[in-house]
Homo-oligomer: A and B are copies of this chain.
Amino acid sequence: MKKIAAIGLAGFLAAATTTTVMAADPEDAIHYRKGAFSAMAWHFGTMGAMVKGKMDYDAEDFSRRADIVAQLSKLPMEGFIAGSYEGDTDALPAIEKEWDKFEGGMNMLVENTAALAEAAKSGDMAQIKPAFGEVGKSCKGCHDNFKN
């Protein structure tokens, strides 16, 4: 109550708005976050093919994709809402139970994709490869813990 009193009416209204925004349909939220992850996977997969030498390395295209992945990495989080851990999803209820750990993992993804986008600007595979590997670890870390 002290906190609510401190932030006052404007803050309370802002909080109420946030509640409205968060009261999205869980099915829509699942569809949304899957969409964002699918778009990331397309670009990250193409980048992976270049890193692994399965596709010619095109520095400009790689950097463009790295920027996109860094932006997309910020999107899925708002799709993880109450009621969205059942139905057409592989996301596990462990996300709600270990929210801080999950949020930390998602924040790490945002940080690591930003670092990869920065490394990509160098055009130097010696800088890109380890940054790419860190993003891959971020993906795997959350999938191991929170994805069926």
Contact = CB atoms under 8 A, between A and B. Distances in A.
17 contacts: A13-B56, A17-B56, A17-B58, A20-B56, A21-B46, A21-B55, A28-B42, A28-B45, A31-B38, A32-B39, A32-B41, A34-B35, A35-B36, A35-B42, A39-B72, A39-B75, A71-B71
Interface in A51-94: 55-56, 58, 61, 68, 71-72, 75, 79
Q: Interface residue tally of chain A, by bracket?
A: 20 to 34
A7 interface: no
Contact of A61 (B21, B34, B72): B21
Contact of A55 (B20, B29, B41): B20
A16 interface: yes
